[in-house]
Amino acid sequence: MSTSNASFKNKCVTQVNCVFCDSLLCTRGMKAVLLADTEVELFSTDIPPNRTVDFVASCYSTESCKCKLRDIACLKCGNIVGYHVVAPCKPCLLSCNNGHFWMFNSDAVSTLNRLDATGVNLLLWGDLPELDDSENEDSESPSEEDCIR
Please tell me whether residue 92 binds Zn ion under the rule CB under 5 A. Answer: yes
Number of shown-chain residues binding Zn ion (CB under 5 A):
10
Dist. CA 111–CA 11, nearest whole Å: 14
Dist. CA 13–CA 137, nearest whole Å: 14
Q: Determine the interface stretch with Zn ion among 36-44, 71-79, 108-116, 124-132 (rule: CB under 5 A).
A: 71-79
Residue 13 or 74 with smaller CB distance to Zn ion: 74
The minimum distance between CB 59 and Zn ion, in angstroms, equals 13
Please tell me whether residue 12 binds Zn ion under the rule CB under 5 A. Answer: no
Restricted to residues 49-68, the positions that interact with Zn ion (CB under 5 A) are: 65, 67
Please check whether residue 115 is in contact with residue 135, taking contact to mean a CB–CB distance below 8 angstroms.
no
Please tell me whether residue 73 binds Zn ion under the rule CB under 5 A. Answer: no
| Among 3, 21, 56, 143, contact with Zn ion (rule: CB under 5 A) | 21
Dist. CA 59–CA 67, nearest whole Å: 10
Q: Determine the interface stretch with Zn ion among 3-11, 17-25, 34-42, 135-143 (rule: CB under 5 A).
A: 17-25
Residue 42 or 128 with smaller CB distance to Zn ion: 42
Please tell me whether residue 26 binds Zn ion under the rule CB under 5 A. Answer: no
Chain contacts with Zn ion (rule: CB under 5 A)? 18, 20-21, 65, 67, 74, 76-77, 89, 92
